[in-house]
């Protein structure tokens, strides 16, 4: 028995059931009585809304993160935990890795801990096949699930995303307009976000008549192995591939491109341009400092918690919120 079953049997919306369970005054007495009678008949006692029934609640949110050593994901977890604390919630963090089976196990673990909601940090939790997203929809039938920088159209799942497609489209277009025609796209993720970024680059380059398969390069190694990233670019150069600019899907790959350019004795940005993504602290750790796309991570995390707190309070909240990124220009682009 789920909140959706209660909604259907009582003939009201899920939001109305949520408001009743959370003691909201924005429900008529007649509707409140009907919903509570349905709950008693069904024996429904959902953990996520236990506060409204006067039952015990853990005041705890489960957080799932694939890899806490990833600078972007680690920063997101920091922002999320800090915002949860200001709202009176503790958190349980599961570092799941990237295998689906491990994500499913982590989700099950958090549900057994009776958390009030679950936050999925990063876009690698979403798959193309609906069957592989079932672990999320099953969890959402019991408690609210929020996604950071990924989207899934499932009841009780709330998505907060950065418009990666448009950000990367604008970055590629601007680099071309500045005179760099042979722009290589260097990426390391095929996640929801990764695919949006790649699509944005491809669309911009295709519109300019400059799209070339050879200029789209995937790095399959560790995100910590900058040397291997640099070597991959050097190998492409030795094989005769011509490129005078790199747009990278994250700042680490972009730093490898800066390292490559210096080893090739290119002047930056006169001979070679580099643009990264995430506008992390790494952007100011190289010389010249890195031009990077700010995807508004802190804003995304703050809004995610606002949405989750609203859902737990029984309010109707937007299912999907999209924020625009911004190119922060520094010394690696013209």
- pTM of the entire predicted model: 0.84
Q: Quick one: pLDDT at residue 53?
A: 44
* Residue 334 covered by a domain: no
Average pLDDT over the chain reads 92
* Residue 8 covered by a domain: yes
CATH number, domain of 117, equals 3.40.50.2300
Same domain, 171 and 243: yes
CA Rg, the chain, in Å? 23
Q: Quick one: pLDDT at residue 18?
A: 74
Q: Quick one: pLDDT at residue 45?
A: 58
* Residue 333 covered by a domain: no
Contacts of 182 (CB under 8 A, 6+ apart): 210, 212, 215, 242, 243, 244, 245
CA distance 70 to 76: 10
Query: Of 36, 53, 70, which residue sits at a domain end?
Result: 53
With a cut of 50, say whether residue 284 has pLDDT above it.
yes
* Residue 200 covered by a domain: yes
Q: Are 123 and 277 in contact (CB under 8 A)?
A: no
- Band (pLDDT 50/70/90 cuts) for residue 13 is confident
Give the mean model confidence (pLDDT) for residues 18-45.
81
Q: Structure tokens of 50?
A: 């236990």
Same domain, 192 and 253: yes
Q: Quick one: pLDDT at residue 3?
A: 72
> CA-CA distances (angstroms) from residue 318 to 72, 97, 308?
25, 29, 10
Q: Structure tokens of 228?
A: 């291997």
Same domain, 170 and 286: yes
Q: How many domains does the chain have?
A: 3
pLDDT digits (tens, 9 = 90+) for 51-79: 444 444 678 999 999 999 999 999 999 99
Q: Structure tokens of 95?
A: 């570092």
CA distance 142 to 140: 5
Q: Quick one: pLDDT at residue 206?
A: 98
CA distance 187 to 218: 5
CA distance 54 to 46: 12
Query: Could you tell me where the DSSP H helices lie in the chain?
Result: 3-10, 14-21, 29-42, 71-86, 100-112, 134-140, 164-177, 192-207, 226-238, 251-263, 297-312
Q: Quick one: pLDDT at residue 14?
A: 72
Same domain, 95 and 16: no
With a cut of 90, say whether residue 331 has pLDDT above it.
yes
Give the mean model confidence (pLDDT) for residues 35-56.
63
- Band (pLDDT 50/70/90 cuts) for residue 49 is very low
CA distance 40 to 45: 9
Same domain, 153 and 174: no
With a cut of 60, say whether residue 279 has pLDDT above it.
yes
DSSP 80-128: HHHHHHHTT-EEEEEE--S-HHHHHHHHHHHHHTT-SEEEEESGGG--S
* Residue 82 covered by a domain: yes
Q: Structure tokens of 173?
A: 């277009």
Query: Of 34, 53, 72, which residue sits at a domain end?
Result: 53
Of 26-35, 42-51, 84-93, 312-321, where does the model show the most confidence?
84-93
Q: Is 213 helix (H, G, I), strand (E, B) or coil?
A: helix
pLDDT digits (tens, 9 = 90+) for 72-113: 999 999 999 999 999 999 999 999 999 999 999 999 999 999
pLDDT digits (tens, 9 = 90+) for 151-184: 999 999 999 999 999 999 999 999 999 999 999 9
Q: Quick one: pLDDT at residue 261?
A: 98
Same domain, 149 and 246: no
Q: Out of 11-20, 118-127, 313-322, pick the least confident.
A: 11-20
Q: Which residue has the higher pLDDT, 62 or 314?
A: 62
Same domain, 14 and 94: no
- Band (pLDDT 50/70/90 cuts) for residue 46 is low
Between β-strands 183-187 and 216-218, what pairing exists: parallel, antiparallel or unpaired? parallel
CA distance 172 to 102: 36
Q: What domain range is 273 assigned to?
A: 164-294
pLDDT digits (tens, 9 = 90+) for 180-213: 999 999 999 999 999 999 999 999 999 999 999 9
Same domain, 73 and 99: yes
Same domain, 145 and 208: no
The number of residues in the chain equals 334
């Amino acid at each position: 028995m789920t909140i959706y079953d209660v909604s259907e049997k009582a003939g009201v919306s899920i939001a109305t059931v949520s408001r009743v369970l959370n003691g909201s005054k924005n429900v008529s007495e007649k509707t409140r009585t009907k919903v509570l009678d349905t709950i008693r008949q069904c024996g429904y006692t959902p953990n996520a809304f236990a506060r409204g029934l006067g039952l015990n609640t853990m005041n705890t949110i489960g957080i799932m993160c694939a890899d806490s050593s990833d600078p972007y994901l680690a920063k997101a977890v920091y922002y999320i935990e800090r915002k949860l604390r200001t709202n009176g919630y503790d958190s349980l963090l599961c570092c799941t890795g990237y295998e689906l089976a491990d994500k499913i196990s982590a989700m099950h673990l958090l549900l057994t801990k009776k958390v009030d909601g679950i936050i999925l940090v990063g876009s690698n939790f979403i798959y193309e096949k609906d069957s592989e997203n079932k672990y999320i929809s099953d969890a959402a039938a019991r408690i609210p699930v929020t996604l950071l920088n990924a989207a899934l159209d499932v009841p009780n799942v709330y998505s907060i995303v950065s418009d990666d497609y448009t950000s990367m489209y604008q970055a590629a277009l601007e680099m071309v307009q500045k005179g760099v025609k042979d722009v290589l796209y260097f990426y390391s993720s095929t996640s929801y976000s990764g695919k949006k970024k790649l699509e944005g680059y491809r669309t911009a380059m295709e519109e300019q008549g400059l799209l070339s398969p050879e200029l789209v390069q995937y790095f399959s190694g560790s995100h910590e192995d900058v040397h291997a990233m640099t070597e991959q670019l050097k190998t492409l150069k030795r094989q005769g591939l011509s490129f005078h600019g790199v747009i990278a899907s994250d700042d680490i790959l972009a730093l490898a491109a800066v390292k490559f350019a210096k080893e090739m004795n290119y002047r930056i940005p006169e001979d070679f341009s580099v643009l990264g993504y995430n506008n992390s602290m790494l952007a100011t750790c190289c010389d010249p400092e890195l031009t990077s796309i700010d995807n508004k991570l802190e804003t995304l995390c703050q809004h995610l918690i606002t949405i989750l707190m609203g859902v737990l309070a029984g309010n109707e909240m937007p299912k999907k919120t999209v924020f625009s990124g911004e190119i922060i220009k520094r010394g690696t682009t013209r």
